[in-house]
Structure 1
């Protein structure tokens, strides 16, 4: 087996999941990896494990490097989520390590997941160090990025950061490093990963980046628990996280809609025409066609959202209700927003969508536009004007002007 060495004595021993297509409602069309790392030193150390079904692949890679897995002295658990710890009980049973190194919250989560009080826990906190021989591991707790137990492990002499779920992407590939894969694919999957997993934790990301700067950590390589390893330019992904966590946007508007009998679709295209007339580029997402996680990927960088939905049974249609609840959980913020929709006899959907966007602290630039049954030429003119209004507010927002919500 060809072994992948990140630095002297440090190897990737993870698993490639070519077939996964859904990750808690996030579409993983390019699969994923569950990365684990082996440090061969005086104290041989395994950093993280893999999803339960991939335990054999993990152990095969370990054997190709050190022969007998029982030579492993320490196991570091940076994150307890089951895609990284699912195989841990079997690995511990086979390896019988001296120490199982985790954060205080990590120990609590391991006990709650596996109910094993007899494991050799060693709890570490931010600033703690463990000397392995030539290499020294130091630790930084990263609570709620994105679980309470999360932490980073840092190899000081190699300037190598094991970042658990931060800085990763769901991408199955035979290549292990950022400079070996298509740059466009990597950029998309990295954006999608942040949008669908970490948007909710943007404040924690900002705090973490500030802490890393304060500690003056020199980072030459970032080794996350999903996707490729950043060795060519780790500063690139750090800069992206800084931009995303500060809700910086790209000047585009998104028209996100569902339709029943084409009336709301007609309104959506008229809104889009108004955006373009007023000089704001846009993207269109029909929720019957686009997966919620792909829409969220575009939302991450967008400056404005315009949601359209007909009323069904005094509420939103299932496609919009599904999407907006998904977005609500991720809590994107600092965007211009407006809503529109058609209805037959009640028309509650526009108000419902607007209230959720208000809850997300978006700036509502229009009170909402409703059309009964099929839009007339005059109705479509109003939709174009709605597009103009969103465009004007978006331009003002991008210029740094204060834009007040109208509802």
Structure 2
């Protein structure tokens, strides 16, 4: 089992999950990792564990460096089971002097594992603990993305162990940002933010400000998933700043589902109108695009056009499901418009507008409904709707 020394006497000892393809509704076609870190000092510290099924990977890597029973402290930055699933068995082997966690971490560990006898050591923002040559400082990051979450910062190394923040679901044999394709890395980081962190964007903004105000120097960020940032940690910090404000670039999406291609015809006309205004547009058919990949595009788009036929006085199931998923993540700072075909009742446009209003999108048009199959005049109206969206997106991006 390969280990990686990320700093002098600090090692990556986690696990690579090459086979995972779904993470509670998030498409993880690129796999993932469960990162854990081992620091050798006068006090030996293990930061987080791994998913239960990967306990052996973690132990083999630790044993290649040190006898696990020589580990003094376990830091639990995050209690979610992909990082704590193997914790009870690891504790039985290590018998640590301290299990370091936040106040909510202690509460959640007890709720998950029902162990009152573990040697909990509760910390809060501003607390620190000496391990010998190095110190660990703790920063609570509640609701990024669980109430127990926290960061561990090692000032002597300028190393931030960042729990689930700044991660990606990406399985590779490389461990660092300068070893992988940058485009792939940033896409996976954006996808991770869009599908896991978006809801907590206000907390991200506060955290980034706090880190800046505290004057924390960072030359490496080690998250609990994916690649470690050592080449340019500011790249991901700046990206989180942009994503947390839901700043849309000069880009619009036309997201649709269709029954007998009428709504698809309308979608293409809307997209053509947007493109005519010099705005980047993506035409996204929900029948062939996973909701988590669609959300990845939503996060940096300024305009969102939604199209669906009416089915049983409602929306097609894929569109209804996507709306439920998107509403839960609460993207903001978007322009919205709706369109759709119908046979005899025609509620879809009204329902799409209502959903976007609930997300506080700025609705730029009442929407376009067509009975059965659109004719040339209707498609022209769809094209005009697209042009208006393109104009709004350009103007909005210029203001930002």
CA deviation after TM superposition for structure 1 residue 357, in Å: 0.7
In the alignment, the residues of structure 1 paired with residue 374 and residue 146 of structure 2 have an alpha-carbon distance, to the nearest angstrom, of 47
Secondary structure of 1:92's counterpart equals helix
Q: How many Å apart are 1:156 and its aligned residue?
A: 1.0
Q: Does 1:335 align with 2:334?
A: yes
- Hey, what's the Cα distance between the residues in 2 that align with 1:150 and 1:318? 35
Distance across 1 between alignment mates of 2:240 and 2:281: 24
SS of 1:89's equivalent in the other structure is helix
Kindly provide the CA deviation profile for residues 170-193 of structure 1, in whole angstroms up to 9, marking residues without a partner as x.
Answer: 000000111011111101101111
Which residue of 1 is the match for residue 47 of structure 2?
47
Aligned-partner Cα distance in 2 for 1:2–1:341: 54
- Residue 299 of structure 1: CA displacement? 0.5
In structure 2, distance between residues paired with 1:335 and 1:107: 39
CA deviations over 1:205-251 (Å, ceiling 9, x no partner):
00000000010000011000000111110010000000111111111
What is the alpha-carbon root mean square deviation over aligned residues?
A: 0.9
Specify the SS of the correspondent of 2:349.
helix
Residue of structure 2 equivalent to 1:141 = 140
2:168 alignment partner in structure 1:
169
Partner of 2:30: 30
Instruction: Compute the displacement of 1:281 (Å).
Output: 2.0
1:95-110 → structure 2 map (5 Å cutoff) = 95-110=94-109
Structure 2 segments unaligned to the other structure (5+ residues) = none
Distance 1:194 1:119 in 2: 33
CA distance in 2, matches of 1:143, 1:281: 36
Cα distance in structure 1, aligned partners of 2:385 and 2:317: 25
CA distance in structure 1 between the partners assigned to 2:398 and 2:72 by the alignment? 57
Aligned to 1:287: 286
State yes or no: 1:14 paired with 2:14.
yes
The Cα shift of 1:356 comes to: 1.0
CA distance in 1, matches of 2:3, 2:344: 66
Tell me how far 1:400 sits from its aligned partner.
2.0
Q: In 1, distance between residues paired with 2:254 and 2:382?
A: 12
**1:4 equivalent in structure 2:** 4
CA distance in 2, matches of 1:89, 1:57: 16
Match of 2:361 in 1: 362
TM-superposed deviation, 1:395: 2.1
Distance between the aligned counterparts of 2:51 and 2:68, measured in 1?
18
Q: Does 1:195 align with 2:194?
A: yes
Number of aligned positions between the proteins: 400
Give SS of 1:251's match. strand
Give the CA deviation at 1:3. Answer: 2.7
2:229 is paired with a residue whose SS is coil
What is the DSSP-based 3-state SS (H/G/I as helix, E as strand, rest coil) of the residue aligned with 2:221?
strand
TM-score w.r.t. length of structure 2: 0.99
Is the deviation greater in 269-278 or in 157-166? 269-278
Tell me the CA shift for residue 280 of structure 1: 1.9
Match of 2:322? 323
Query: CA–CA distance in 1 between the matches of 2:345 and 2:281?
Result: 30
Separation (CA, whole Å) in 1 of partners of 2:157 and 2:7: 7
Q: C-alpha deviations, 1:48-82, integer Å up to 9, x for none?
A: 0000000000000000001x211111000000000
Q: Alpha-carbon deviation of 1:278?
A: 2.5
CA shift, 1:396, in A, is 2.2
Comparing 287-296 with 392-401, which one deviates more in the overlay? 392-401
Taking the TM superposition and a 5 Å limit, the aligned residue runs for 1:172-187 are: 172-187=171-186
Q: State how far apart, in whole Å, the 2-side matches of 1:234 and 1:276 are.
A: 35
**TM-score, normalised with respect to structure 1:** 0.97
Which residue in 2 is equivalent to 1:208? 207
What secondary structure sits across from 2:299 in the alignment? helix
Structure 1 residue 389: deviation in Å? 1.6
Take 2:326 and 2:2, find their aligned partners in 1: how far apart are those partners? 42
Give deviations 1:59-110, integer Å, cap 9, x for gaps. Answer: 00000001x2111110000000000000000000111101000000000000
Q: Hey, what's the Cα distance between the residues in 2 that align with 1:63 and 1:277?
A: 61
Q: Quote the Cα distance in structure 1 between the aligned partners of 2:94 and 2:394.
A: 60
Give 2:305's aligned residue: 306
